[in-house]
Amino acid sequence: MLLTLTTTHRPATDLGHLLVKHPDRVQSFDLPAGVAHVFYPEADEARCTAALLVEVDPLKLGAGRGRRQATAPEGFTLGQYVNDRPYAASSLLSSALAKVFRSALRGESRDRAELATTAIPLTVRVPVLRCRGGAELAVRVFAPLGWTVTATPIPLDEAYPEWGDSRYVDLTLTGTLRLADALNHLYVLLPVLDDAKHYWVAPDEVDKLLRAGSGWLAGHPERGLITRRYLAHRRALAGAALARLAELRLADEPTADDSIDPEQPVETPRAPLAAQRREAVLAALRDSGASRVVDLGCGGGALLTSLVADRRFTEVVGVDVSDRALGLAARRLRLDRLPERQRDRIHLRQSALTYRDDRLRGYDAAVLMEVVEHLDPPRLPALEDAVFGHARPGTVVVTTPNVEYNVRYEGLAPGRFRHADHRFEWTRAEFAAWVGRVAAAHGYTATITGVGDADPELGTPTQMAVLTRDDRKEETNR
């Protein structure tokens, strides 16, 4: 089975650096089920093609399979030795890709770090790909990722066109993408199209899928089919993966609720609610005496910018589950242009707040600004555990909408939330009850305030709570 990868980026031979495989040599790698060879049919300034050829040993493939899933899609005895596996691209090619181009798949490159993060013109060709669901399915899975797809069905026998097409296609993808993205697309989607995984699908495949699918799978219109097939139709695993993807996807949707602001009297122009909220959070952080701060669910990084501008904050970390949000934050912070000393103060980390993450432990303060209402209520206890139980910052500042105030928003239909992605919005009593419960359960003491113009009956548009870890109260209650 064969896959070729061509670029016309100049100098095209940089492809060798990105793949960490020298264009002048043929290199071979042992695989559990055969041997992979990498070589370059062409390599000059203008155009360079790397080929990955996998020779499958059907005996090796058949051996040691035990109770594992059948190798051949057909379930007959000789099927494990006489089948298409040696010739047609499948999950074997994808495992070879992962093994042979490991650092390129991760987007790492020692010699061409910048190029590794740059979209370059690429053409991928897989001359024989088993495609369950036909050529049209190849278009459905690759086109939304920015590829121009040509999938030509291969006739069963060229001498007898009346026999019709085989279930194989000749696939060509062209596009301008980061090499790592291209490789991750192939890594996931080749076995998905083949739909006959050659190995036992263990639970850690969910993590592998989410890692490889980072930044593109959650929003993919065919994510359901991709996930089910990738996980070899194991229902429980696919369910778990889809739930995590749903979290990622929600996180990717546009956020700020500032488009809807209460009608302000013209004569007293006020800062928009979002700016007031940022100022209130900053004030609470300054009061807490924190120097190392983490903004959980930082979104596009508006608060991070203010934090970085204040030198008392010696370390500022932005955390979000969304790739896109982190990309925006990096741009807004101009991370690539900051002097090194400044840059060392700022870190962006991708993490889901509903999972414990050791990297988030030990901070003085954490912010959850307009984040909790983006979680499905059943996921909230997981966030409580990860933030208050595991990360345990000295201070936590939480803000969330006050749903009672919504009647003041013109154009917001009764019963609607301020943002399409909000899973709930709390009354003051509901927020107070949640804050009280979390504080008691995790050893914090809370103060509740509000942000924005207070309505005598409805309260403020934004609710805010500052929770202080009980063993820190002595230091901060000055």
Site residues (vs ligand SAH, CB under 6 A):
247, 251, 255-256, 297-299, 302, 320-322, 325, 352-354, 369-371, 374-375
String of DSSP letters for 21-45:
--TTS-EEEEETTEEEEEEEEEESS
**DSSP conformational letter for 387:** I
Helix axes 323-332, 302-309, angle to 10 degrees: 40
Cα distance between residue 96 and residue 91, in whole Å? 8
Cα distance between residue 425 and residue 151, in whole Å? 47
- Identify which of residues 3 and 464 has a Cβ nearer to ligand SAH in the complex: 464
For residue 209, the SS3 value is helix
Q: How far apart are CB 259 and ligand SAH at their closest, in Å? A: 13
Contact predicate 155/161, CB 8 Å: yes
For residue 69, the SS3 value is coil
Q: How far apart are CB 68 and ligand SAH at their closest, in Å? A: 34
Q: How far apart are CB 187 and ligand SAH at their closest, in Å? A: 25
Q: How far apart are CB 320 and ligand SAH at their closest, in Å? A: 5
Helix axes 223-230, 179-194, angle to 10 degrees: 70
- Identify which of residues 332 and 437 has a Cβ nearer to ligand SAH in the complex: 332
Residue with tokens 């049209």, as numbered in its chain? 136
- Identify which of residues 320 and 404 has a Cβ nearer to ligand SAH in the complex: 320
- Identify which of residues 187 and 388 has a Cβ nearer to ligand SAH in the complex: 388
Q: How far apart are CB 306 and ligand SAH at their closest, in Å? A: 11
Q: How far apart are CB 410 and ligand SAH at their closest, in Å? A: 22
Give strand pairing partners of 37: 28, 53
Q: Where are the beta strands (DSSP E) in 353-457?
A: 365-369, 395-401, 444-451
Neighbours of 377 (CB within 10 A): 10
Contact predicate 467/445, CB 8 Å: yes
Q: Where are the beta strands (DSSP E) in 280-345?
A: 292-296, 315-320
- Identify which of residues 292 and 349 has a Cβ nearer to ligand SAH in the complex: 349
Q: How far apart are CB 298 and ligand SAH at their closest, in Å? A: 6
- Identify which of residues 251 and 438 has a Cβ nearer to ligand SAH in the complex: 251
- Identify which of residues 97 and 294 has a Cβ nearer to ligand SAH in the complex: 294
